[in-house]
């Protein structure tokens, strides 16, 4: 099992450009999440999907959109990138059992110039 | 607003010592507690989870939970240089669906 995979690993954008971060999991998990991590700010939830077909805003959703393409895949889109979106982005997934353990992907390091 | 507080550190301990990492949380409805380890440039990985008051041991790691004091800690015995990392505390409510709230993490440095 690959677990949670993310593409790309690194990306540099210019202000105003758009891009989509891809995430896939092979653990048959129902729930998936997108976080950003900035120095001194910790992990902050952008969007999550409790199950296939549903998405909800997290703590910092502005400037982002998401798509739960199917049970395996959850993408994050930046429509018009801004320097404030320079960050490391992590995707995570979890099952729906009593234990809410989240498993993280390797991350995407995004720089917006 | 739900908050999880951790001392940012760094916490420096010599090899072989016990490292004690602390976390407090504001939401009294929190019932599930997690410790993640994050090496520099890597993603968080789960070390321990704890749901009941008291201690839970797993190898060199012991998680301690006190819900009355809204306090959770992680003890690392016989600390090794490979334990040098940032440790993230995360909490969530149990039952139904809820999201994790993470602390900002404590950096641990274990010197040989």
The number of residues in chain B equals 112
Lowest mean pLDDT among A41-45, A67-71, B54-58, B73-77: A41-45
Q: Compute CA B8 distance to the chain's CA centroid, rounded to the nearest angstrom.
A: 12
Amino acid B2: pLDDT:
67
Residue B83 is encoded by which pair of tokens?
Answer: 């334990």
Residue A1 vs residues A99, B6, B79, B94: alpha-carbon distances, Å = 20, 33, 31, 28
Which of A50, A102, A106 has the CB atom closest to B97's CB atom?
Answer: A50
Bridge pairing between strands B4-5 and B54-58: unpaired
Q: From its phi and psi, is residue B29 left (phi > 0), alpha (psi between -120 and 50) or beta?
A: alpha
Phi, psi at residue A85, to the nearest 5°? Answer: -95, 5
Distance from CA of A48 to the nearest CA of B (A): 8
Residue B111 makes CB contacts below 8 A (sequence gap 6+) with B12, B13, B14, B15, B81
Q: From its phi and psi, is residue A79 left (phi > 0), alpha (psi between -120 and 50) or beta?
A: alpha
Which of A41, A43, A105 has the CB atom closest to B88's CB atom?
Answer: A43
Residue A49 is encoded by which pair of tokens?
Answer: 């999907």
Residue B110 is encoded by which pair of tokens?
Answer: 């274990």
Whether residue A103 and residue B49 make contact (CB cut-off 8 A), yes or no, is: no
Q: Would you say residue B62 has pLDDT above 90?
A: yes
Q: Would you say residue B110 has pLDDT above 60?
A: yes
pLDDT tens string, chain A, 113 residues long: the values are 789 999 999 999 999 999 999 999 999 999 999 999 998 888 999 999 988 889 999 989 999 999 998 999 999 999 999 999 999 999 999 886 556 688 999 999 999 99
For residue A21, the chain B residues in CB contact (below 8 A) are none
Mean of the pLDDT values across residues B26-55? 92
Is A50 an interface residue toward B (CB < 8 Å)?
yes
Whether residue A103 and residue B32 make contact (CB cut-off 8 A), yes or no, is: no
Which of A42, A101, A107 has the CB atom closest to B34's CB atom?
Answer: A101
Is there a contact between B89 and B72 (Cβ–Cβ < 8 Å)? yes
Q: Would you say residue B104 has pLDDT above 70?
A: yes
Amino acid B86: pLDDT:
96
Tally of CA atoms within 13 A in the half-sphere of A46 that contains its CB: 26
């Amino acid at each position: 099992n690959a677990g949670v995979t993310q593409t790309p690993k690194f990306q540099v954008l210019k202000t105003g450009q758009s891009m989509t971060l891809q995430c896939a999991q092979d653990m048959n998990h129902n729930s998936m999440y997108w976080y950003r991590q900035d120095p001194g700010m910790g992990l902050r939830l952008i969007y999550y999907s409790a199950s296939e077909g549903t998405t909800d805003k997290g703590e910092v959703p502005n400037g982002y959109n998401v798509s739960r393409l199917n049970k395996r895949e959850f993408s994050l889109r930046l429509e018009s990138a801004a320097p404030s979106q320079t960050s490391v982005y992590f995707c995570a997934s979890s099952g729906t059992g009593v234990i809410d353990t989240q498993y993280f992907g390797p991350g995407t390091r995004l720089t917006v110039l | 607003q739900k908050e999880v507080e951790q001392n940012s550190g760094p916490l420096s301990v010599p090899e072989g010592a016990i490292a004690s990492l602390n976390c407090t949380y504001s939401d009294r409805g929190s019932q599930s507690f997690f410790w993640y380890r994050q090496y520099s440039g890597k993603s968080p990985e789960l070390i321990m989870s704890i749901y009941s008051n008291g201690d839970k041991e797993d190898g060199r790691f012991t998680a301690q939970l006190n819900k009355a004091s809204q306090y959770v800690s992680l003890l690392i015995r016989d600390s090794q240089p490979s334990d040098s990392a940032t440790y993230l505390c995360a909490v969530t409510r149990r039952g139904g669906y809820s999201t994790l709230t993470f602390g900002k993490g404590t950096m641990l440095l274990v010197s040989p």
